[in-house]
Amino acid sequence: MIPCSAPLPNHEAWQRHLAEGFRSAKALLAHLGLERLWTPAMEAAARRFPLRVPRYYADLMTPGDPDDPLLRQVLPDSAELTSPPGYGTDPTGDSHALAGPGLLHKYPQRALVITTGGCAVHCRYCFRRHFDYTAAGARPARWDPVLDALAKTPDLEEVILSGGDPLLLDDDRLGILLEGLATLPGLRRLRIHSRLPVVLPQRIGERLVHLIASTGLPAVLVLHVNHPAELTEFLSCALSSLRRAGIALLNQAVLLRGVNDSLETQLELNKKLFESGILPYYLHQLDKVRGAAHFQVPDEHAKALHAAMQQRLPGYLVPKLVREIPGASCKRPL
Ligand SMILES: *Cc1c(COP(=O)(O)O)cnc(C)c1O
Ligand code: SF4
Going from the Cα of 308 to the center of ligand 2, the distance in angstroms, rounded, reads 28
Q: Whose CA is nearest to atom 3 of ligand 2?
A: 164
Q: Give me ligand 2 centre to Cα 165, in Å.
A: 7
DSSP secondary structure string, 123-192?
Answer: -TT-TTTT--TTTTT--TT--HHHHHHHHTSTT--EEEEESS-GGGS-HHHHHHHHHHHHT-TT--EEEE
Residue 245 belongs to some domain of the structure: yes
- Per-residue pLDDT, averaged over 273-288, amounts to 97
**CB 155 within 8 Å of CB 111:** no
Nearest CA to ligand 2 atom 6: 123
Going by alpha carbons, the residue nearest to atom 7 of ligand 2 is 126
Q: Could you tell which of 49, 92, 121, 200 is best to mutate to test the pocket of ligand 2, judged by most ligand atoms within 8 Å of the CB?
A: 121
Ligand 1, residue 322: give the atom nearest the CA: 7
**Can you tell me the mean pLDDT for 222-230?**
98
pLDDT digits (tens, 9 = 90+) for 132-152: 888 777 676 789 999 999 999
Would you say residue 12 has pLDDT above 70?
Answer: no
Write down the pLDDT at residue 95. 86
Establish if 10 belongs to a structural domain: no
Classify residue 114: in a domain, yes or no.
yes
Find the ligand nearest to 121 CA: 2
Q: Is 275 in contact with 1 (CB distance < 8 Å)?
A: yes
pLDDT per residue over 46-100, tens digit each?
999 999 999 999 999 999 999 999 999 999 999 999 989 999 999 998 888 888 8
User: Among all ligands shown, which has an atom nearest to the Cα of 323?
Assistant: 1
| HSE-CB for 32 with a 13 A CA cutoff | 30
> Which residues constitute the domain of residue 184?
94-333
Distance 311 CA to ligand 2 centre (A): 31
Of all atoms in ligand 2, which is nearest to the CA of residue 164?
3
- Residues linked to residue 306 through DSSP beta bridges, in sequence order: none
CA separation, residue 281 to residues 10, 223, 270, 316, 330 (Å): 29, 10, 10, 9, 14
How far apart, in whole angstroms, are the C-alpha atoms of residue 262 and residue 301? 10
Asked if the model's pLDDT at residue 11 lies above 70, the reply is no
DSSP secondary structure, 273-329, as one string = HHHTT-EEEEEEPPP-BTT-GGG---HHHHHHHHHHHHHHS-GGG--EEEE--TT-S
Identify the CATH number of the domain in which residue 108 sits.
3.20.20.70
Give a yes or no: residue 297 inside a domain: yes
Ligand 2 atom at minimal distance to the Cα of residue 129:
8
Q: How far is ligand 1, taken at its centre, from the CA of residue 230, in Å?
A: 24
Residue 225 lies in a domain: yes
Q: Residue 56 — φ and ψ, nearest 5°?
A: -55, -45
Residue with CA closest to ligand 2 atom 5: 122
189 exposed, middle or buried (CB, 10 Å; 0-12, 13-18, 19+)?
A: middle
Q: What are phi and psi of 225, to 5 degrees?
A: -100, 125
Q: How far apart are CA 276 and CA 273, in angstroms?
A: 5
In a domain, 46, yes or no: no
pLDDT of 277 > 90? The answer is yes
Establish if 133 belongs to a structural domain: yes
Question: For the residues 180-191, what does the mean pLDDT come to?
Answer: 96
* pLDDT-above-70 percentage for the chain: 96
Number of domains in the chain: 1
Q: Which atom of ligand 2 is the closest one to the Cα of 127?
A: 8
Most ligand 1 atoms within 8 A of CB, residue of 193, 222, 331 to mutate: 331
Q: How far apart are the CA of 162 and the centre of ligand 1, in A? A: 10
- The answer to whether position 47 is within a domain reads no
Q: Which residues line ligand 1 (CB under 6 A)?
A: 97, 104, 106-107, 110, 112, 160, 330-331
Reference 107, options 333, 326, 334; nearest CA is: 326
Res. 8: pLDDT tops 60: no
